[in-house]
Homo-oligomer: A and B are copies of this chain.
Amino acid sequence: MTVMNHRFTLAARPVGLPKATDFKFGEEPVPEPADGELLVKLEYISLDPAMRGWMNDTKSYIPPIGIGELMRAIAIGKVVASKHPGFAVGESVAGLFGVQEYAVTDGKGVMKVPPVAPLPVFLSALGMPGLTAYFGLLDIGKPQPGETVVVSGAAGAVGSIVGQIAKLKGCRVVGIAGGADKCKYLVDELGFDAAIDYKATDVTAALREHCPKGIDVYFDNVGGEILDAALARLALHARVVICGAISQYNNLVVKGPSNYLSLLVNRATMTGMVVTDYTPRFTAAIMEMAGWMGAGKLRSREDIVRGIETFPTTLLKLFSGENHGKLLLAV
C-alpha cells in the first residue's frame, strides 16, 4: 500500500479574506528521502498572520508563494526516515515544512527541538511568536523599569509574550484585545496591569485612563485605528515597534496612521522588525525564555484545532480574532 501525503497548495491569490477556493487540497505518494535528505511526519502546523502576506504577489521579506505551490507554514514533527547524517529517526524537528502531512527536506533551516517542553510550545512561546516578542520588545522597544508598555493583539501568540516579558522587566503593561474573556485572561492570569477590550471600549479614552504618563513602548500587531489611538498617546522619546498589521492584511488599500506626526511632536521612533534577522541569537533567547517558563514567570497558551483538512477555515480564526492563544493545526 502506498502511503499518501495530503497537502494544501495555493490555487489563487486571495482578494480580501482568503476563501476555501483559494486553496487546493490534494494528495500524492509520500516521497522517499534521497541521499542527504530526511522525511518528517508533521504533528503540528503553525497558522500565522504572516501567511496572508505570503499569498500576495508583492515584494516582501521573502518571495510570495507561487500559484500551485505548497502553502508555506512553519511546522513541527518527527523524523521517520533519514539519509542525512545530522538527523536520526525519532528526533523532533521544526522547520518551514508547509501545510501537509509529510515533508522531505535537506535539513537546511531545520531546528532540532529539545525535549524540555511539549511540542506545541515550540511553535508558540519558544518558537517564532515568542522570539518575535522577545527581540521586538527587548531590542527595538528597549523597555526600562517603570515605563509604560502597550501591546495590541495582546492575547495572541506574540502579544501575550510581549506583555509578560515587559512585566518581567518592571514595566506597567496595558494590553489591547477583543472581548471580555481575553481581557480577563490578560489581567487575571498573565498579570497585565490593565486590558482594553477594543470591541467594547473607546480605545483612545481607555489609553488616556490607563496610561496617565503616556506610552513609552507601543508594540503593534494590528495597525489601523488602534495604531492611530496609540500614536495619539505617545510619551516623549517613545518607541513604536511595527511587528504586524493584522487588521490591514486583507485590505487592498492599507490605512496609514493619520497620527504619525505624533512621532515628530514626541521625538519618537517607529521601527519595523522581522524575527529571522535575529537567527544567530535564537538559541540563547529560547534558553532564557525556557528558564522563565520553568520558574512560572512566562506562560504559553495554544489553541489547537484537529485535522489538516480544516486549514482554510481554521486560518480565518486569526482574522476574526476567534483564536485564544497561538493557533495550531494538529495533523
**Chain A residues engaging chain B, CB cutoff 8 angstroms:** 59-61, 223, 228, 242-245, 248, 253-274, 277
Contacts and interface: CB of A to CB of B under 8 A. Distances in A.
Contacts of A258: 253-256
* Copies held by the complex: 2
Contact of A260 (B253, B257, B269): B257
Given A263-B272, A264-B274, A269-B270, 16 more contacts: A223-B261, A228-B256, A242-B260, A242-B261, A242-B264, A244-B264, A253-B258, A254-B260, A254-B261, A255-B256, A256-B257, A257-B257, A260-B260, A262-B272, A267-B273, A269-B272
Contacts of A263: 242, 270-272
Contacts of A268: 271-272
A230 B262 CA distance: 19
A260 B261 CA distance: 13
Contacts of A259: 254, 256
A67 B76 CA distance: 65
A265 B228 contact: no
A268 B245 CA distance: 16
A260 B270 contact: yes
A272 B277 contact: no
Contacts of A228: 256
A194 B269 CA distance: 29
A107 to B, nearest CB: 27
- Which are the 4 A-B pairs with shortest beta-carbon distances? A256-B256, A264-B272, A263-B272, A256-B258
A59 B264 CA distance: 12
A246 to B, nearest CB: 11
A268 B228 CA distance: 19
Given A228-B256, A256-B255, A258-B254, A274 B270 contact: no
Contacts of A248: 261
A321 B318 CA distance: 46
B273 A261 contact: no
Nearest to A270: B270
Contacts of A277: 267
